[in-house]
Structure 1
C-alpha cells in the first residue's frame, strides 16, 4: 500500500497509507462523530468541498450498499480514517470502502492518529488540508494551502443542486415544493410518504414556485456559506417573497437561509456539528439528532425579525431551530430524516403537514 500524507495549512503533517482513488485532494478538513453512516456521509451533498475525518476508529466494516446512498455519487473530496476494513461483513454484499472510493476517484488515507487530528481541529478550528502521495515538497504544499481560497468562498450549492424542475405524483392530497440546495435522498423519501413533490433548483424565482400550485415549501440542506452572495441573490430572495404566501420548513442549510431571508444572520462555527449523536432541547425534551453543518443562526440577530429561536444544542447552546411568531414558518438545523442516525424527530414532517392543512382556507 502506497504511503501518503495529510497536510494541514498550519504546518501539521500526518503520514499514512493511501487507499481509494489515485489522486490528490484539497478541501476543508472536518470531522464526523458517527459510529456508523460513513456511506451516507460520503454521499451527502452537504460535504461538497470538504475532507472528512471519521472519529470512530474502524470504518467500512459493514461494507457498501447502494440503498444507503444519499445522492448519485461521493461528495467529500477525501476521507481520513484510523483504520479501514478490507474484509467487510457480507451482510450487504461485501463491497469494500476502497472499491467505492475508487469508483468516484476519491482518495482516502488510513493509519492517521485521528484522535490527535480531531483534538487539533476542536482546539484551533477547521483548517484547509490536502491528501497527497508526493512528500517531496511538503513545505510548498503548506504554502499553497495558506493561499488557497476556502471552499465556501465558491458557490458550492450550484455544484450539487438539481438543474431542472421535476414532479412526482404520489397520489396524495397535498403537493409541496422542495427547493433543492443539495438535498439528501432521505428528505424526498420521507416527503413522498406524505405529499406529492415538485422539486425546484435552488435559484428558482418565487413566482415560479407559487404558480406551480404547491401548498407549502421545504428548503433543503446544502453545502457552503449560507450568506454567499450568489445564494443571497437567488434562494434567499425567493424565500423572502414566499414567506408571506406559503408555509415554509427549512432543514439545516434551509434553516439558515430562512433566518437570513427574514432579516437574521449566521456565523461560522469553530468546528461544526457532524454526526449522528447531537443532543437538541426542544419543547422541554432532549432529542438525539443527526447533523452536518458548519454554520449556525445568530440568536441575537433574530430580534425584530419575527423569528424566535426555540431549539438549542445542549453541547454549545447554538440555535438548532426557529419558528415565526405569526407566519407558518419553522425550521430545524438537524436532519429529522436522519440517514444515518436516530429518527427521534421524524415528527417534524408531520408537523409540516399539519401546518399546511391549518393554512388551507
Structure 2
C-alpha cells in the first residue's frame, strides 16, 4: 500500500501547497530537498524548512503535497506520474449508503483554495478526481474550482463523484460551458426500483430526485458515468436495471458495475452484502448482455479476472488505484496480472488466495 498521508514538521503558520523536488529550483511553488534518507527528507522553499517522515526523495520527487503544520502531516495530493489522484473535498454527506466506504462526518474543513493551487501545479494532461462525502453539498465551490482550474489549465480533466441530489435547472447555463466538457460526473444508481435504491442509500425520495438531476444534466450536455455497486440486495434487479438504463439513460458515457469494497460500513455487513461472482454471476451476465445489445459502454470494476466467466472477462478493467491495490501470492504466477484489478488492500485476507492463475 502506498502511503498518502505522511508525518511532517513545519514552522509555517498555515497550511500550504508545494511541489517536492530533489533539485534546487527558483519556482516559488516548489520546495527542494536539502537532506534525505530512507526514512525522512528535509525540504526548503518559500514556506521555510519542513521535514517529511516516510519515503525518501526518490519516491516523493515531483509530488504535490499539502503540508498542514498544526496537524503535523503532509498529504500527497497529486503524485508525480500517477493517473489516480483524487481530492477529498468534504467528508459531509446527505446519504448513508449501507456499504459506504467513506462514512460521513458532520464537520467540514474548507480547503478549496489549497486544492485549486494543487491542481494548477499538476502534470500535463492528467485527470483529477473529486470525491467526498458529497462534493455538491458545496456545489458552487466545486463549480468555481473546476472553472478556475480549467480556464488556466485546459489540458486537465476532472472526474467528480456525486450522489446527484443537488443539480438544479438553474445550473444548466453554467454546465453548458465548453470547459465542462472536460468533466465527467460519476453518479450511482443502484436499482431501477425506487424503493430498493432509496433503501440502499438510506434516503427517501433519492431515486426520484436523482432522475430529476439526470434530466438537468442531459439538458446541460454533461458527461455521466453511471456507477452501480453489486450487493445481495440488488443483484436480482440488475437485468431490469440494464433495461432501464437502455431505455431512459442511454446518453451516459459509461456504466460501471462495481464489486463491493470491504471497508467503511461494508466491513461489518460483508456477509449480508458481498456477492461472490464465481457463484452468483448470472444476473450480472444478463445485464451485461442487455447493455451490449443496446450499445451501452459497460465495464466491470474491482473484480479479479479469474472470478469471471471467460466470455465476460473483456468487460473487466484494472480499476483499483495503485495505492490501495493488492494481490495474493498465487497471483504472482498469473499471466494476466498486469491487466487485472486484483483486490483492495483491505479485502479479507483469507480470500486473497481464492484465485485461479490464468
Scaled to the shorter chain, the TM-score interval is under 0.3
TM-score scaled by length of structure 1: 0.28
Larger strand fraction of residues: 1
TM-score scaled by length of structure 2: 0.28
Larger helix fraction of residues: 2
